[in-house]
Amino acid sequence: MLNIARLNSAPEIFYSLQGEGSRCGTPAVFLRLAGCNLACKWCDTKHSWGNGLLCAEQDVAAHILEYNCASLVITGGEPLIQQGPLENLLSLLPECLHVEVETNGTLLPSPALAQRVNQWNVSPKLQHAGNPREKALVPEALAFFATLPRAWFKFVVQSEADWSLIAGLELPQERIILMPCATNRASLESARPAVVEMCLRHGVRLGDRLHLTLWDDKKGI
């Protein structure tokens, strides 16, 4: 059984545009799982931390396929705390389905998931997220993802002071994305200029959080 985040008393499965990362703007089905092993103080999906809805993998697969979409984004919470049920779900879906997993990069994926997932969107949490460093930045897990050419690293940043920690992680710079720390359209517009300058200084990609630009802080879209 999958523990799926609860939104308006229903499991949070919806069709929208990918709002972040290297495939920003791509239509996808989103599956938001419940539960997280971190507690970021600026998290914009805190509703996913609590009790979700237990759903059979077969029912979830059927719901996903109803959208007739070529891409699936599995997000959370932290999806990798449910690796067994995730393996079961993906075994029920077509191999041609492009699967992305959004993870905080603290947990190693199983060999089966590492092989099946087409893209890993790894978002390590910096100090301003409010988690203990030893919990938020796990060298073994980050080193594993760094070896995968299909893993991208998304960092929520607040200021230039964040760059020294990012650089110290020694991740592939061509796969680093910096995103403004924002939970709504107004805060995104305010924070964006400084992050643009950071990206230009350090030669990395800007992640502009399309979903906030389009829909502000609305959930389930």
- Taking only the tens place, the pLDDT of each residue in 158-202 is 999 999 999 999 999 999 999 999 999 999 999 999 999 999 999
Taking only the tens place, the pLDDT of each residue in 122-142 is 999 999 999 999 999 999 999
- pLDDT for 219 equals 87
- pLDDT for 181 equals 94
- Confidence label for 40 from pLDDT (cuts 50, 70 and 90): very high
Does 220 have pLDDT greater than 90? no
Percent of the chain with pLDDT over 90: 93
Q: How far is CA 149 from the centre of its chain?
A: 17
User: With a threshold of 0.85, does the pTM exceed it?
Assistant: yes
Mean pLDDT across 34-62: 95
d(CA 163, CA 192): 16
Taking only the tens place, the pLDDT of each residue in 159-171 is 999 999 999 999 9
- pLDDT for 167 equals 97
Beta-strand pair 13-17/27-32: antiparallel
Phi, psi of 28 (to 5 degrees): -160, 155
Does 12 have pLDDT greater than 90? yes
Does 221 have pLDDT greater than 90? no
Q: What is the mean pLDDT of the chain?
A: 96
Domains in the chain with CATH codes: 2-152 (3.20.20.70)
- pLDDT for 154 equals 98
Percent of the chain with pLDDT over 70: 100
Contact of 26 with 96, CB cutoff 8 Å: no
Token digits for 40? 């970021």
In this structure, what is the dihedral angle of CA atoms 83, 88, 52, 132, given to the nearest 10 degrees? 10
d(CA 137, CA 3): 25
Q: Is the dihedral of CA 208, 214, 220, 221 positive or negative?
A: negative
- pLDDT for 50 equals 87
